[in-house]
Structures are given as structure tokens and as C-alpha cells.
């Protein structure tokens, strides 16, 4: 990104989340840096930044009122951007229409927070707590597929948390989900909470883990990979799970994705790769160097690794910084 564009569109903002449109276009949700501890997260200035980098073209849409915990996805069928915040608020916008009204997910009274947006078979799902999964069926239409008729939610714990005013009192809840298809979905959460959905019913799975499971991937090899706190990684399917031993880090894993046959797993201070029981840290020996970490995402053509201050794109051969501090920017 050119210095002039960095100054205009990114400076003073942190990157919060990213969605890939195609190999030449990314969407970023960013929020304004505010070091005032008394300021409310719900009054943060938020922007959707559209970034075409070959050739470089940038657009933005800003609004006030979103929290700093935002997720973004892109519906390729509708050419529509979908942004969801921690409090179940949703914004949708088409590529050629910058009208971005806020609406809310259904059944909000029994939904504490949204933690992830995922795509299964080109359909977008919102993942949250307590054990909530919403399927987007059309523009502004979402179906709650985790209602009490599908499987029992622990309502006593929910009521206790509501009265205390502390969501974190709950030791369960979905942090992420993924699926091989809409009738084969896995969802993971705190305290080793793991469930499977077959398109009709939910079933809790037994996994030898009691720490928070933060991210999950239904991989092309037919196995499910789960990563979480204390650097834990599990591989399995249904009720058969094994822990993948690694000694490189005990830092919590945040995101997991697959790119060109290799798993990429991110933390707040590094990016790791895994294949065939070999686990190693990305060295960034080909191209630009990443210094700000947190998240990773991919499609069949590119992988994007990014943190609050920087984003890099990898095509399988070379790392290229697309967003970063001005001192590292292209000066042309």
C-alpha cells in the first residue's frame, strides 16, 4: 500500500478482521485506535476498507457504534459484505451500494455474543454463545439452528450469568465452527466443549480436553483439526480424537486454515505450519517479514496473515506486505 493511501485509509486504526474476495481483492474491518480507558467500545469509529492491490484501488465506508470485536465475511453469490459485532449487530452492503443499515440476529435475548463468521458450502454462519449457530438463508435472514428443540441449552447457567452480568461466568459456548457440508458441522468452545450437527440434531462429542478450543477446521484430508489455549492441537473425527504433540509454543491458538496442503495456525505473536505430524514456525524467508500477528485466512489462491498493524499475502511462493507501517510501504 502506498504511503499516501496508508495515511488516508489506515493510519490511526487497528485491523480487526479480513475477508478474501479474490486473489487481488481483500476486505478489512478496522477500528479507530483509542487509548482512553474510559471510552466505550460501542462508540468506536469502525471502517470497512476495500483493497484491490493489483492495481491498487482503495475504498472505505465508516460508521460509529460498532464494538471493537468485529467479524467480516463476503457472499460471492450476492457480492455482499457481511459484518457482525460481538453484540449480535449485523451490517450488510453490496459492492455498489454503500447503504449499510444495522439489524440484529434473531433470538438475541438468548444469544450473549458472536465470536466468528464462517462459510460452509458458500453459506455464511454466525457462531457464538451460549452454543449458538445461525445460518444465513438470504439477505437479512438468519435461521437459528441451535434452539432448545434441537438440543438442550443449560438454562440454569444462562440465567445465572444474566443475573451476574458476566458472560464469562459460562464455561461453555461456541468460539468457532466449520463443516464438510451443511449436514456435517463441528462446533467448539470453552472447557473442551465440542458438538456435531448432522443437519437435524446436535450431539456432544467426547474429546480428552478441558481447555478452551478456539478454532476448528474441517480439512481436505477428511479429518477435523482443533486448536486452542496452551498451544493444544487435536485431530480426529466423530468420537475419535488424538492430541498432536508440539513443544514450540504454549501460547493460545487463534485461527486455523489450510493452504496448498499445509495447515496454518496463528497466535498473537507468530504463525505456525503443520503437516504429517511435523509442526514448525513460519520463517518469512521469502519476501516481506511479518511483525504483527493474530489471524490467518485463505482461499484456494492466496493466504492472508494479519495482526492489528499489518497484513501479508502469500501465494505459495512469496510473502507480500499489503498493509503495514509507513516505513515499510512501497514509496512509489
Which of 107-121, 181-195, 230-244 has the lowest average pLDDT? 107-121
160 and 175 belong to one structural domain = yes
84 and 117 belong to one structural domain = no
- Sign, Cα dihedral of 74, 75, 80, 83: negative
109 and 82 belong to one structural domain = no
Distance CA(171)–CA(191), nearest Å, equals 6
Helix intervals (H) in the chain: 3-5, 155-164
* pLDDT value, residue 17: 96
141 and 153 belong to one structural domain = yes
pLDDT greater than 90 at residue 309: yes
* pLDDT value, residue 163: 66
Kindly report the average pLDDT of the chain as a whole number. 87
Residue-wise pLDDT for 51-62, tens only, equals 998 788 998 887
CA-closest candidate to residue 312, choices 299, 331, 330, 293: 293
Q: In the structure grid, which three cell numbers stand for residue 329, read together? A: 510501504
Distance CA(72)–CA(122), nearest Å, equals 14
Q: In the structure grid, which three cell numbers stand for residue 88, read together? A: 449480535
6 and 148 belong to one structural domain = no
* pLDDT value, residue 37: 57
Residue-wise pLDDT for 196-227, tens only, equals 999 999 999 999 998 999 999 999 999 999 99
Sheet holding 295-298, edge to edge: 295-298, 303-307, 310-314, 319-323
265 and 283 belong to one structural domain = yes
Name 279's bridge partners.
Answer: 274
How many Cα atoms occupy the beta-carbon half-sphere of 110 within 13 Å? 17
Which of 171-175, 209-213, 248-252, 321-325 has the lowest average pLDDT? 171-175
Per DSSP, which regions of 13-79 are E strands?
13-22, 25-32, 44-53, 56-66, 70-75
130 and 47 belong to one structural domain = no
* pLDDT value, residue 331: 45
Distance CA(249)–CA(271), nearest Å, equals 11
196 and 257 belong to one structural domain = yes
25 and 55 belong to one structural domain = yes
pLDDT greater than 60 at residue 166: no
CA-closest candidate to residue 68, choices 51, 38, 49, 45: 45
- Domain region containing 28: 1-97
193 and 286 belong to one structural domain = yes
- Kindly state the average pLDDT of the residues 265-292: 94
Domain boundary among 48, 82, 97: 97
156 and 217 belong to one structural domain = yes
Q: What is the dihedral of CA 200, 204, 205, 209, to 10 degrees?
A: 150
* pLDDT value, residue 219: 98
* Count of structural domains within the chain: 2
Residue-wise pLDDT for 6-21, tens only, equals 888 999 999 999 999 9
Neighbours of 281 (CB within 10 A): 12
Percent of the chain with pLDDT over 90: 59
Distance CA(140)–CA(208), nearest Å, equals 39
pLDDT greater than 60 at residue 330: no
Distance CA(3)–CA(240), nearest Å, equals 51
* pLDDT value, residue 165: 57
Domain boundary among 97, 123, 141: 97
| CATH code (residue 189) | 2.120.10.80
Domain boundary among 97, 119, 140: 97
What b/e readout covers 191-218, taking b as 16+ CB neighbours within 10 angstroms?
ebbbbbbeeeebeebebebeebbbbbbb
Of 70 and 168, the one with more pLDDT? 70
Burial of 239: CB neighbours in 10 Å, binned 0-12, 13-18, 19+: exposed
* pLDDT value, residue 43: 56
* pLDDT value, residue 329: 45
Cell numbers 471510552: residue: 39
Which of 29-43, 172-186, 219-233, 314-328 has the lowest average pLDDT? 29-43
Q: Which long-range contacts (CB under 8 A, 24 or more apart) does 102-111 make?
A: 102/65, 103/140, 105/134, 105/142, 105/144, 106/134, 106/142, 106/143, 106/144, 107/132, 107/144, 107/147, 110/153, 110/158
19 and 117 belong to one structural domain = no
Amino acid at each position: 500500500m502506498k504511503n499516501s493511501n496508508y495515511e488516508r485509509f489506515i493510519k490511526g486504526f487497528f485491523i480487526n478482521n479480513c475477508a478474501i474476495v479474490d486473489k487481488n481483492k481483500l476486505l478489512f474491518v478496522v477500528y479507530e485506535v483509542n487509548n482512553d480507558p474510559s471510552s466505550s467500545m460501542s462508540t468506536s469509529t469502525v471502517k470497512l476498507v476495500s483493497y484491490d492491490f493489483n492495481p491498487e484501488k482503495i475504498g472505505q465506508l465508516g460508521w460509529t457504534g460498532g464494538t471493537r470485536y468485529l467479524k467480516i465475511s463476503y457472499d460471492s453469490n450476492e457480492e455482499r459484505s457481511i459484518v457482525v459485532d460481538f453484540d449480535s449487530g449485523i451490517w450488510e452492503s453490496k459492492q455498489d451500494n454503500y447503504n449499510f443499515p444495522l439489524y440484529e440476529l434473531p433470538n438475541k435475548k438468548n444469544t450473549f455474543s458472536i465470536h466468528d463468521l464462517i462459510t460452509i458450502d458458500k453459506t455464511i454462519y454466525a457462531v457464538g454463545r451460549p452454543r449458538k449457530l445461525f445460518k444465513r438463508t438470504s439477505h437479512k435472514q438468519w435461521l437459528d439452528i441451535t434452539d432448545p428443540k434441537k438440543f438442550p441449552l443449560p438454562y440454569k447457567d444462562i440465567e445465572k450469568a444474566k443475573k451476574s452480568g458476566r458472560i464469562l461466568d459460562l464455561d461453555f459456548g461456541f468460539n468457532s465452527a466449520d463443516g464438510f457440508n451443511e449436514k456435517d458441522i463441528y462446533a467448539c468452545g470453552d472447557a473442551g466443549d465440542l458438538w456435531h450437527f448432522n443437519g437435524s440434531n446436535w450431539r456432544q462429542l467426547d474429546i480428552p480436553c478441558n481447555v478452551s478450543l478456539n478454532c476448528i477446521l474441517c480439512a481436505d484430508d477428511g479429518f477435523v483439526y482443533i486448536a486452542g489455549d496452551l498451544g493444544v492441537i487435536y485431530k480426529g473425527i466423530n468420537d475419535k480424537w488424538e492430541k498432536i504433540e508440539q513443544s514450540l509454543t504454549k501460547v493460545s491458538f487463534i485461527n486455523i486454515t489450510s493452504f496448498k496442503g499445509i495447515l496454518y495456525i496463528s497466535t498473537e505473536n507468530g504463525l505456525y505450519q503443520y503437516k504429517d505430524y511435523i509442526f514448525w514456525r513460519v520463517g518469512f524467508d521469502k519476501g516481506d517479514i511479518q511483525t504483527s500477528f493474530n489471524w490467518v485466512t485463505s482461499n484456494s489462491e492466496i493466504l492472508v496473515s494479519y495482526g492489528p498493524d499489518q497484513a501479508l499475502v502469500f501465494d505459495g511462493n512469496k510473502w507480500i506486505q499489503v498493509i503495514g507501517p509507513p516505513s515499510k510501504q512501497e514509496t512509489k
